Amino acid sequence: MQIEPLPIDGAFVITPKMFGDPRGLFMESFRADLLSEAIGHPFDLQQANLSVSAAGVLRGVHFADVPPGQAKYVSCPKGAIYDIVVDIRVGSPTFGTSHGVLLDDANRKALYVGEGLGHAFLCLQDDSVVTYLCSAGYNPTGEHGISPLDPALGLDLPTTARDGSALTYTLSDKDTAAPTLAQAQESGLLPDFDDVTAFLQALADPTVG
């Protein structure tokens, strides 16, 4: 597989090598050794999640307190999503920017979202399945959200589904009520870039600090 960094530090897109024949195909969907080499520290898999969504479902922008944070390795084994990483680390050179990647059952790519980053996705096909490999378990008191429709974020959301039909965005009540980026920053919810950097350095070398 090929692991490439995205313009936002701490985010990577993973492109697998697929081996097909008349029976179907085979591929490696996750390699802990290669991922750890790319991100600079071990990926400690603690929880695996799966969601099924209809076309137009918009989930996120979700993020977790650092420490411990929650890195995610996201893939779409069935259907199609537009997966988005958002830099919400206060003090980061790319604070407030985002980058989206198409994940579907044709390219079979994955997106790695490092600790301290925000994550969202828009479903482009009914019954799309999304899997999340997570570096930390669910922590309801340490997980937060930002409105994906915040104009200040300016997420480049697709307006058409995989079949060419128009999309109507559907959000959960929690995501609909989520604060804007500015409101989250003012309330002190957002991770600090220097704190995240120090945390990742400790993961790379536990003797630091």
Over residues 181-207, the pLDDT tens digits come to 999 999 999 999 999 999 999 999 887
Render pLDDT for 58-92 as a digit per residue (tens, 0 to 9). Answer: 999 999 999 999 999 999 999 999 999 999 999 99
The answer to whether position 27 is within a domain reads yes
Cα separations in angstroms, 141 against 144, 154, 173, 180, 191: 8, 27, 18, 19, 15
- Please tell me the pTM assigned to this model: 0.96
Taking the alpha carbons of 129, 134, 139, 140 in that order, is the dihedral positive or negative? Answer: negative
The answer to whether position 103 is within a domain reads yes
The answer to whether position 209 is within a domain reads no
pLDDT score of 199: 96
Asked if residue 209 has pLDDT above 90, the reply is no
The answer to whether position 208 is within a domain reads no
CB-based contact 146:178 (threshold 8 Å): yes
pLDDT score of 208: 61
pLDDT score of 207: 74
Any long-range contacts for 14-20 (C-beta under 8 Å, 24+ apart)? Answer: 14/73, 14/109, 14/110, 14/111, 14/112, 15/107, 15/109, 16/108, 16/109, 16/110, 18/108
Range of the domain at 27: 2-202
Question: What are 132's two structure tokens?
Answer: 């999340």
The answer to whether position 19 is within a domain reads yes
Residues labelled as active-site residues? 62, 132
The answer to whether position 207 is within a domain reads no
First to last CA, the chain: 34
Is the peptide bond between 68 and the residue preceding it cis, with omega within 30 degrees of 0?
Answer: yes
Question: What are 175's two structure tokens?
Answer: 């995501």
- Total domains, the chain: 1
The answer to whether position 74 is within a domain reads yes
Asked if residue 12 has pLDDT above 70, the reply is yes
The answer to whether position 84 is within a domain reads yes
What value does the mean pLDDT of the chain take?
96
Asked if residue 26 has pLDDT above 70, the reply is yes
Cα distance between residue 33 and residue 47, in whole Å: 18
Cα separations in angstroms, 160 against 52, 89, 107, 164, 167: 19, 30, 19, 5, 5
Render pLDDT for 36-45 as a digit per residue (tens, 0 to 9). Answer: 999 999 999 9
CATH number for the domain spanning 116: value is 2.60.120.10
Burial 1-36 (b: 16+ CB within 10 A, else e): bebeebebbbbbbbebeeeeeeeeeeeeebeeeebe
